[in-house]
Structure 1
């Protein structure tokens, strides 16, 4: 049994200045969330949703998010949430990585990131640690911090989205990283942000038998419309019915945007107009070309980026999207008829999610045929959104219970720990 389960210490208290905190009443608990963020917005937005939910449930809680996202400063966080940004890394076309801004070797950037992560953990002394998706972090950078944290009484949780990847790619990837061994050694729980009835992301992995006992399927993470509007100015088109076209971060959304625009350039364009949100990571030259085409079409308009996309989505009549995890949570939460156009390379994550969601009747899906994106097929698919069911018309028990389950598990663990501390004090 790991030390985090018993509340005892396997490291000497105060070793290298690293020791658990004395105030363990749960009212002022601390949570550390690690999000490697090498690409896109998905990991950051998921971590932000969880952080905001935890401080909303227990106002005395403090959450620090460790992230490599270059745009984390553009987002607003709840009272009690802050972040530490580690130097960014970016994936290159050949699949390798490099430092995003620093003129240093990748190994040096990883070493710097790892040192910042470990020092943050040592100083912050969290009660709960949530690691997003990668048990070892990017290139193993979080393992030294996990080694330190294991003996402090902190509960260490791996949080994974509903779909990781197809087994043929996921299994060798985990073997290469030694992820299963790290999961077995350091992690007390695994939270799957989805439902077993929809997909089991870890089923194909050769995990130890007791790992299954640590897995909780939370349901998807419900999103809400921010109470305060953002500063983004929306096109006049949004005052009437419109379709929202979104690709999340935008770094891999060129094909969807091109296909949607071409539908409105066809001889029989969709009846309802569309607003395109490019995302912060789209190539500038590509965006410039899209804007030239959009400017010539009276049924199209666009904005660059919106950190409060939920506001615009709530106004939309329907949504056309790639189908990443966060967008899927948003369209379910805001109950929008949605057309998913999933990415099929280099990963099948979005495609697997879209297939299962369409099977349940939550969304419709459209994929290109042999690399050909027929404008008329897209136009007709957009037109059919007007008659498509809303997600709420499909009954899936526990579908959007994710944040509630996370809050409950956190509170229950804090209460059990406080009770143990009282018992030990009485002895």
Structure 2
């Protein structure tokens, strides 16, 4: 079996880490399979993949502060970068000949770059799946965005199944789109993607602070996490005797000048420390007593998987995804959340950090199927395989 995963990765780590978790799970279930990830992430080489999984890195693009995009490294126009990416994706489909192709989040890819590959995959008899996280955005923004991208049209024309990596009882990300009935029948809710501890081949060199009970603060990729980092540091500045050890993980995309300033402030407090990035963050997550995070999809899955007390401080721009997830999960008793009001009173953060010790764990809220995501994905792949075998046999007979 050959499976191809597409992850556009214009910003952050979320799409890549989700694709990696799925790929590693599938190759564990089917050890003789070959799984290939197409990604635009500039740091995909920092991650380890299981035997049977490999990746192709296409030229990166990045989002500017005004919402526009540009080529990340190449000295070329965005249009030329997209054309190159599109050609590489199409050639990969033609050469790799996948049995199943899983597209992450964007039905037509970045700027429509995956459409030619979808057409080619269809001609080759490949099964096409769209995989989306539990929450995309608020309906007022999602509807015009998907109309502009021709996303619903792509669902109708190309996709055999749509996998929602969440629970219907928590949120229905496509409910506002008024999808045709035959498309709605292709939607499967998997539950959240459970995370396991990665294999540690070389001992990790962590700061001394992790040898005692500590709170982990993570901002994912870090490109938009500076406000959270600043707020946590300000809590220690407001209350220097705060009796709580905290490790901050900046993320690989943090602004370098801000990183330097943060480290200078952190150095003044013995109970506060920081690292830039850890490609096996699950290890720190498991060791931590509690977690403070912005609440992106992958971090949320890890909080549930390792059953950690968590405080979520979601971003609200450019999407409300994290805010919607934080509110819904707090309602169910899984986490607590704190809104960033733009003022970021240090004393409010002090109180929030101190309350973590008395907070309940996610496991205290019983929600059936909450972490069944990877198992359900394996079931869906198993259901697609007999169809592929039947069609292959028919083609051979003809």
- TM-score in same-fold range (> 0.5): yes
Q: 1:131 aligns with which of 103, 109, 115?
A: 103
Shift of 1:228: 1.6
Tell me the TM-score normalized by structure 2. Answer: 0.97
Equivalent runs, 1:18-417 vs 2, <5 Å:
29-228=1-200, 232-267=204-239, 270-369=242-341, 371-417=342-388
What's the Cα RMSD here? 1.4
Q: Which 4+ residue blocks in structure 1 deviate beyond 6 angstroms?
A: 423-427
Q: Is the contact between residue 268 and residue 379 of structure 1 (CA under 8 Å) also seen in structure 2?
A: no
Aligned residue number for residue 18 of structure 1? none
Structure 2 CA distance for partners of 1:125 and 1:355, relative to 1, 3 Å: same
Q: Is the contact between residue 229 and residue 308 of structure 1 (CA under 8 Å) also seen in structure 2?
A: no
Report the 3-state secondary structure (helix = DSSP H, G, I; strand = E; otherwise coil) of the residue aligned with 1:216.
strand
Q: Is the contact between residue 270 and residue 382 of structure 1 (CA under 8 Å) also seen in structure 2?
A: no
Q: Is the contact between residue 64 and residue 81 of structure 1 (CA under 8 Å) also seen in structure 2?
A: yes
Shift of 1:80: 0.4
Shift of 1:231: 6.0
Shift of 1:416: 4.0
Deviations along 1:333-354, one digit per CA (max 9) or x if unpaired, are: 0000000000011110000000
Distance of 2:242 and 2:33 partners within structure 1: 48
Shift of 1:266: 1.1
Larger mean CA deviation between 415-424 and 347-356 belongs to 415-424
Larger mean CA deviation between 71-80 and 372-381 belongs to 372-381
- Extract unaligned runs of 5+ from structure 1: 1-28
Deviations along 1:273-332, one digit per CA (max 9) or x if unpaired, are: 100000100000011000000011111000110000000111000000000000000000
- Extract unaligned runs of 5+ from structure 2: none
Distance of 2:66 and 2:307 partners within structure 1: 38
Structure 2 CA distance for partners of 1:424 and 1:151, relative to 1, 3 Å: closer
Q: Is the contact between residue 31 and residue 63 of structure 1 (CA under 8 Å) also seen in structure 2?
A: yes
Shift of 1:257: 0.5
Tell me the TM-score normalized by structure 1. Answer: 0.91
Distance of 2:85 and 2:389 partners within structure 1: 33
Distance of 1:137 and 1:184 partners within structure 2: 15
Aligned residue number for residue 12 of structure 1? none
Deviations along 1:182-202, one digit per CA (max 9) or x if unpaired, are: 111010100000000000001
Shift of 1:368: 2.5
Report the 3-state secondary structure (helix = DSSP H, G, I; strand = E; otherwise coil) of the residue aligned with 1:330.
helix
Structure 2 CA distance for partners of 1:337 and 1:229, relative to 1, 3 Å: farther
Q: Is the contact between residue 230 and residue 307 of structure 1 (CA under 8 Å) also seen in structure 2?
A: no
Distance of 2:124 and 2:392 partners within structure 1: 14
Report the 3-state secondary structure (helix = DSSP H, G, I; strand = E; otherwise coil) of the residue aligned with 2:316.
coil
Shift of 1:230: 5.7
Shift of 1:426: 7.8
Distance of 2:390 and 2:121 partners within structure 1: 22
